[in-house]
Every structure is written in structure tokens, then in C-alpha cells.
């Protein structure tokens, strides 16, 4: 079990090249999709257990990014507990335009037993 998140990590070419070999290996191994635009990179992770506070490659990557100019990368985590978590670090205006979009919707099963209420105004 646990919490699964979708994560996008965009980074400029020069900053990507400055990442440690361990960080690059983590990105290459675990990203579901990787996009490259003029040397800049975008890594997409779908339904990953993204726990930046636990020891491991995610925490190591985030700690490494603390040494970079925040205008050279953007990392966004989309998870169910928004806005109760830090969902973005970095502020690069990446060419992909990654952003966090929140949508709340209601769903239900149509069992065919709908009763129309004629007393509701506009009905």
C-alpha cells in the first residue's frame, strides 16, 4: 500500500549534466517517459511511491537539487493530499509548461432509478 503520485521533473541541459551519476541513473531507471527538447529533459513518473523524506534516491535527488539554481529545474508532484504537501520545487519556466492542475469531481453509478423532481426551479 502507500501513496502513489504522478511526478514531472523538468531540468535544463547544463543542470542535468551536472547531476550525479546516481541521480541520472535513478531518473533513467524509474521514469516512465522521458522527453528531450534542445538538450533539456523532462522525466514523467506515473503512480510512483514518491517519499522525499525517506532515505533513498528521491531524497538524494532533492538534496542535490538544493545546490542548483532553482530557475534551472522544476519538480511537481501530483498526489491526493494536495494542498497539504509541498508539491513543487524549482521555478524554471520549462518548454513543456508542466503545471499542477487540480480537479475535483463527483461520480456515481447510474442505476436507472432517477426520479425527476418537478418542483425544482428550472426543471
Cis amide bond preceding 83, omega within 30: yes
Q: How far apart are CA 4 and CA 98, in angstroms?
A: 19
Give every strand in the sheet of 33-37, ordered side by side.
33-37, 40-48, 5-11, 73-78, 88-90
Number of domains in the chain: 1
For 122, the domain range is 1-123
Which pLDDT value is given to residue 37?
96
Q: Which residues of the chain have pLDDT under 70?
A: 1, 81-86, 114, 116-123
DSSP H or E run through 23 = helix 21-30
85 contacts 76 by C-beta, under 8 angstroms: no
Which pLDDT value is given to residue 96?
95
Amino acid at each position: 500500500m502507500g501513496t502513489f503520485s504522478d511526478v514531472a521533473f523538468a531540468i535544463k541541459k547544463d543542470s542535468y549534466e551536472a547531476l550525479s551519476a546516481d541521480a541520472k541513473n535513478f531518473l533513467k531507471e524509474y521514469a516512465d517517459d522521458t522527453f528531450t527538447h534542445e538538450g533539456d529533459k523532462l522525466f514523467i513518473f506515473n503512480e510512483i511511491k514518491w517519499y522525499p523524506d525517506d532515505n533513498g534516491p528521491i531524497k538524494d535527488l532533492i538534496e542535490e537539487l538544493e545546490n542548483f539554481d532553482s530557475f534551472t529545474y522544476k519538480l511537481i508532484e501530483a498526489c491526493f493530499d494536495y494542498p497539504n504537501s509541498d508539491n513543487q520545487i524549482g521555478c524554471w519556466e520549462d518548454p513543456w509548461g508542466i503545471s499542477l492542475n487540480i480537479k475535483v469531481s463527483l461520480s456515481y453509478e447510474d442505476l436507472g432509478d432517477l426520479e425527476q423532481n418537478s418542483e425544482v426551479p428550472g426543471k
